Chain A
Amino acid sequence: MTAAPIVELDGLTKRFSRKLDVVERFARRLGATIDDRAVQAVSGVDLSIAEGEVVGLVGESGCGKSTLGRMVAGILPPSAGTLRWHGRDLRELSPADRHHANLKIQMVFQDPMASLNPRLRVADIVGEAPVVHGLVPRREAEAYVAALLRQVGLDPAYLRRYPHQFSGGQRQRIGIARALAVKPDVLVCDESVAALDVSIQAQIINLFMRLREELSLTYLFISHDLGVVEHISDRTAIMYLGRIVELAPTPELFDKPNHPYAKALLDEAPRVSVEKRRFAPIRGEIPSPLDPPSGCAFHPRCPHAMPLCSAERPALREIAPRRWSACHLNETTGP
């Protein structure tokens, strides 16, 4: 990619740990070895997103894709690793610059009903942030919000309405307008079309693509829906149990996935097709992140697992230009 990276993740990690309760603390004082119970939701993710690029992030529940998205959006602080904005470590920025950087990355959530305050009118939901951050004077806020509503395809006459007076698709448009209100450069979309009906989903996908053109936005598009990600993103990253297992330009990844998990995921995603097909699913369940398998986390379900796979975790390596995969098979047989 020729464009400079706008956001870079370097070894980004998030651990959620539970504090020990009284009994456990007491037991530890008496000499018992009790560790904090920690879930490593995201483990050492490296990813660089170029300006104007759409990166799709795919994975099943519990793989850490939402946690990763929240760290990028600045909602969750990372436990380890660095997040760079235009090449500069966010932690080393001055408070004012960091504040500015945080505003430039906004998030669109999955469930618009849960992410919009039911007691505020649309004018306040969308208009609050730009006024607070001094982007727009208070008396011009209403005209500003009206223009935003028009941009996301809503009638500005809806300014005085409450969220419950809208349909799901319209609410999602309000969520998008709110994210756009502070003039961001990057949108993190976490399952933003998952809760919508097919015909409405298509409208919102089209809206995302139009806004990208109009405002030259960069997206981190998180979804479990492979069809949506294939449609919208330039590059796709596939996550399994807290790590990226494959990262490649979207057409190449969907045509010829390299990692066995990526293959399985693509094979099993139902597609609209006239041909009836037999499902030949991979066995087993997604392992618990509380107790991840040794070595490659996918090895207990992998049809090609070798002894090495349970012993050593494969690193994410560049197997071809711009194609990254974390699998031992690439070392023994080549890609």
Chain B
Amino acid sequence: MTEPLLRVDGLKTHFLTRAGTVKAVDGVSLRLDRGEILGLVGESGSGKSVTGQSILGLVDPPGRVVGGRVLFQGEDLVGAGEKRLRAIRGRRIAMIFQDPMMTLNPVLSIGTQMVEAVQAHEKVGRAEAWERSRRALVRVGIASPDERLAAYPHQFSGGMRQRVAIAIALLHSPDLIIADEPTTALDVTIQAQILFEVQKLCRETGTALIWVTHDLAVVSALADRVAVMYAGRVVETGTVAEIIGNPRHPYTRGLLESVPSRNRRGVPLRSIPGMTPSVLDLPEGCAFHPRCDRSTGACTVMPELSGEREDRAWRCWNPVAAEARGDAA
């Protein structure tokens, strides 16, 4: 097997708080090839966003990466110095956040911010940087880019701002984009436009993408592979067809059955009982076992991630039987 673009190995990010150590990410391993789209799925507090931030060394104190490796094209980013990380951020790995109003500076025009982003990594003239910014805006489907470059963030709608954020991420044709819930705040028709552009861009440029989200429906339409997270760990990973069509971890199955769908109209949803455990006080062993209908005595010991392949595995002592599930609408 060739060396993947990104390999995350046993990543641990802990937050040392007064109330105790929060193990937000506790031994996460992922791999991503060139041009591949990975959906990183989980509910609030599962550690999906912190995983994305840890890859780029963007975790704020009191959070700290305390273990594991992030190998990007063979180079370990966990031990890398701030200077090296700055050279990589934005240029080789770009990030898109949920709220573009937080990433864009409200007092600078879009053009100024984009030119700044180009010149941060490359010695190019202002005119050339401007032209590159213009082309990036056209690529994400923004009409009349010259006027838009002169405008300020507040003059844009939410969907347009997110397009600008994507355009900025594309400026240096990065090898990898990490997108943290970028369409969660958007309306359905606008979300569809963004997904359309992203899908097209990844196909055209061969950029790999990690799409962090809680929305299984978005992931199933967009991603190639999925990793499901629960309480700081990956509990199941596989291709979209495998995860949606034949989930093996009871949590994944529970998530899928919680989504209202056409086939189950009017009948009660099979919800997962209980709630997500506090990360300060995780249950012993498999963190899901108190909510799980398949749990046995074995579940008080943490199961290892195991399965058919390295990228088709689950972390469960009593996995759901391998069978074709017919009700995925």
Could you say which of B193, B241, B264, B271 contacts A274, with CB atoms under 8 Å apart? B241
Q: Which of A198, A268, A281, A285 contacts B157 (CB 8 A)?
A: A285
A-B contact count (CB 8 A): 142
Minimum C-beta distance from A55 to chain B (A): 15
Contact A197 B276 (CB under 8 A): yes
**With A and B bound together, what is the CA distance between A276 and B199 in angstroms?**
11
Give complex CA distance A200, B269 in Å: 11
Cα–Cα, bound, A198→B329 (Å): 17
Contact present for B221 and A269 (CB under 8 Å): no
Q: Per a CB cutoff under 8 Å, which of B244, B245, B260, B328 touches A205? A: B260
Is B191 engaged at the interface, CB distance under 8 Å to the other chain?
yes
Contact assessment for A199 and B262 in the assembled complex, using a CB-CB cutoff below 8 Å? no
Interface positions, chain A 176-229, Cβ under 8 Å from B, are: 197-203, 205-206, 209-210, 224, 226-228
Secondary structure at the B interface, as helix, strand, loop or mixed, is helix
Q: Which residues of B, 185-236, contact A by the 8 Å Cβ criterion?
A: 187-193, 195-196, 199, 214-218, 220-222
Check A271 against B255 for contact (C-beta < 8 Å): no
The answer to whether B270 has its CB under 8 Å from any CB of chain A is: yes
A272 touches B328 (CB 8 A): yes
Contacts of A285 in B (CB 8 A): 157, 159-160, 190
Contact yes or no, A197 B43, CB < 8 A: yes
Q: Which residue on chain B has the smallest CB distance to residue A209?
A: B268
Q: Are A227 and B276 in contact (CB under 8 A)?
A: no
Chain B interface residues toward A at CB < 8 A: 43-44, 157, 159-160, 187-193, 195-196, 199, 214-218, 220-222, 240-241, 244-245, 254-262, 264-266, 268-273, 275-276, 328-329
* A198 (CB) vs chain B CBs: closest residue: B258
Partner of A254, one of B44, B259, B262: B262
Q: Which of A170, A269, A274, A278 sits near B188, CB closer than 8 Å? A: A269
CB distance from B42 to the nearest CB of A (A): 9
List chain B residues, Cβ under 8 A from A113. none
Judge if A167 is at the interface, Cβ distance under 8 Å.
yes
Query: Nearest CB to that of B257 among chain A residues?
Result: A202
Residue of B190, B260, B261, B328 with most partner-chain A CB within 10 A: B260
B260 contacts A228, C-beta separation under 8 Å = yes
A226 to B195 Cα, complex, angstroms = 18
B191 touches A198 (CB 8 A): no
Is the C-beta of A286 less than 8 angstroms from some C-beta in chain B?
Answer: yes
Q: Is the Cβ of A198 less than 8 Å from the Cβ of B214?
A: yes
Once the chains bind, are A270 and B215 in contact (CB under 8 Å)?
yes
Contact present for B188 and A268 (CB under 8 Å): yes
Whether A199 touches B215, Cβ cut-off 8 Å, given contacts A268-B192, A272-B328, is no
Q: What distance in Å separates the Cβ of B245 from its nearest Cβ neighbour in chain A?
A: 5
> A265 near B: Cβ within 8 Å?
yes
- Residues of B with C-beta under 8 A to A281: 189, 192-193, 195-196
C-beta contact mask, A114-158 vs B, less than 8 Å → 1, else 0?
A: 000000000000000000000000000000000000000000000
Task: Establish whether residues A199 and B43, one from each chain, have CB atoms under 8 Å apart when the complex forms.
Answer: yes
